[in-house]
Structure 1
């Protein structure tokens, strides 16, 4: 059995801006990791650096510009290593619907529960970044 995290939100923005924010390192750094590198192409590696201890890597599993990007964790911690996460974008009347998922968690442990909460907070930070140009300082991101 595996466990999954799902969050949906609508961002009042255009698809290009949202896609850049979930796939380009200089935009990802505005709402998620402290430092980031990578190219939004299938098979390319991303580095999501949070601290020296949390210096994680993922590969792009699937990517279609303006539509989606999906990552597979390759080097992180024991709980995250088995997981994949992604963002699927759809235009809706009020903006861009972001369907976020983080799947294949081995157990519903405290790290899973904390990650679900943190993703909700971070995705709200993504929304505020794109809609209001608010960047929450890295140390204040939960």
Structure 2
């Protein structure tokens, strides 16, 4: 069976360590993605991504290499997301960090897939603004 994937690449003008912290530590995730998050950046650990009572999702860390890689497999979310894994690959470059993002395993190229691809692009720009400039977009104003 075919599956579909989302890919976004961007440069963040900051060291990989700072980017890694922003994508793995719950207190940082809450500044650009989740409303409330818990988890430890270590393989086999469980993350809870809370957005609203309706969107209270769980996942497992499937790959974690400090300052280089962080991958999450969704375990309790919705029908489209449950089959997916998203992750970040980080590489130090002369002016900061090259971040390569992927969200793989989508069962269909449906409206939810398309909307999620758009949302990830907006959220990743929020991540960039947060890491580079300390800008926090209030949860209610995020896509």
Instruction: Calculate the TM-score normalised by the size of structure 2.
Output: 0.98
Instruction: Note the alpha carbon deviations across 1:95-130, whole angstroms, 9 max, x for none.
Output: 101100000000000000000000000000000001
Q: State yes or no: 1:129 paired with 2:135.
A: no
Aligned residue in 1 for 2:45: 44
Structure 2 residues without counterparts, runs of 5 or longer: none
Instruction: Note the alpha carbon deviations across 1:70-112, whole angstroms, 9 max, x for none.
Output: 0000000000000000000001122101100000000000000
Aligned residue in 2 for 1:69: 70
Partners of 1:74 and 1:132 lie apart in 2 by: 33
Structure 1 residues without counterparts, runs of 5 or longer: none
**Runs of 4+ residues deviating >2 angstroms:** none
Partners of 1:85 and 1:129 lie apart in 2 by: 20
Higher helix share: 2
1:96 alignment partner, SS class: strand
Partners of 2:20 and 2:10 lie apart in 1 by: 14
User: How many residue pairs align between the two structures?
Assistant: 142
Instruction: Note the alpha carbon deviations across 1:39-68, whole angstroms, 9 max, x for none.
Output: 000000000000000000110001011111
Aligned residue in 2 for 1:16: 17
Listed as ranges, the matches of 1:1-142 within 5 Å are: 1-142=2-143
Partners of 1:66 and 1:34 lie apart in 2 by: 24
1:41 alignment partner, SS class: coil
